Amino acid sequence: MGAKFGGDDDLIADINITPFVDIVLVVLIIFMVTATTIVKKAIPVTLPDAATGEVAKDVSLGLTMGADGSLLLDGQPTTPEGIIAAIDVAKKEGSDVICLIAADKMVSHGRVVWLLDLIRSRGVAKFAINIDDATKIGPDPAKAVIAPAP
The confidence score (pLDDT) of residue 28 equals 92
> What mean pLDDT do residues 78-95 have?
87
The confidence score (pLDDT) of residue 81 equals 93
Tell me if 38 is assigned to some domain: no
CB neighbour class for 87 (10 Å; exposed up to 12, middle 13-18, buried from 19): buried
* pLDDT tens digits, 1-25: 555 555 566 677 778 888 889 999 9
Tell me if 87 is assigned to some domain: yes
Residue 109: pLDDT over 60: yes
Tell me if 30 is assigned to some domain: no
Tell me if 150 is assigned to some domain: no
Tell me if 111 is assigned to some domain: yes
* pTM for the predicted model, two decimal places: 0.54
Cα distance between residue 130 and residue 64, in whole Å: 9
The confidence score (pLDDT) of residue 143 equals 73
Query: Residue 98 is part of a domain; what is its CATH number?
Result: 3.30.420.270
CA distances from 110 to 11, 21, 116, 117 (A): 76, 63, 10, 10
Rounded to the nearest integer, the mean pLDDT of the chain is 78
Question: How many domains, in total, are found in the chain?
Answer: 1
Tell me if 84 is assigned to some domain: yes
Where does residue 142 fall: left (phi above 0), alpha (psi -120 to 50 degrees), or beta otherwise?
alpha
Tell me if 68 is assigned to some domain: yes
* pLDDT tens digits, 29-74: 988 888 776 665 554 555 566 665 555 567 888 888 888 888 988 8
Domain that holds residue 108: 58-129
Tell me if 25 is assigned to some domain: no
